[in-house]
Amino acid sequence: MLSLRSVTFVLLTLFSKIAILLLMKSISNAFRALADPTRRQILQELKRGELSAGEITACFTISGPSISRHLSILKNADLISERLGDFLSVVCPTQIARRRRSKRKEA
């Protein structure tokens, strides 16, 4: 019969391996998203501030649906987030961090 200690050890080992696999999948998704030069350029544009999807599309010569697909891939890789308000806006994580720091300084 298994002791409580051995069951706990097995469960913790299993959970840690699952966590590692999820982290590896997340990292893999990020690198896959960054492999495309258009997506890297979108992130460069977003470093200056948040942009609507239309503003991002205006920066490129490719179609709106293509930009939408690139944005979807970046979002699924957790490299950008979406803010829904008066309009669709895409935010780069570094821009979110800057905004939080400036709010702390103001307070």
CA–CA dist 48, 68 (Å, integer) = 20
pTM of the model: 0.67
Closest CA to 83 of 44, 51, 47: 51
CA–CA dist 56, 42 (Å, integer) = 7
| C-alpha 105 chain-centroid distance | 26
CA–CA dist 106, 87 (Å, integer) = 26
Closest CA to 80 of 24, 20, 29: 29
Which domains does the chain show, CATH number per domain?
Answer: 4-106 (1.10.10.10)
Phi then psi dihedrals of residue 52, to 5 deg: -80, 165
Q: What are the pLDDT tens digits along the chain (107 aa)?
A: 678 788 888 888 888 888 888 888 888 888 999 999 999 999 888 888 888 888 899 999 999 899 999 999 998 888 888 776 644 556 666 666 666 777 777 76
H or E, element range at 91: strand 88-91
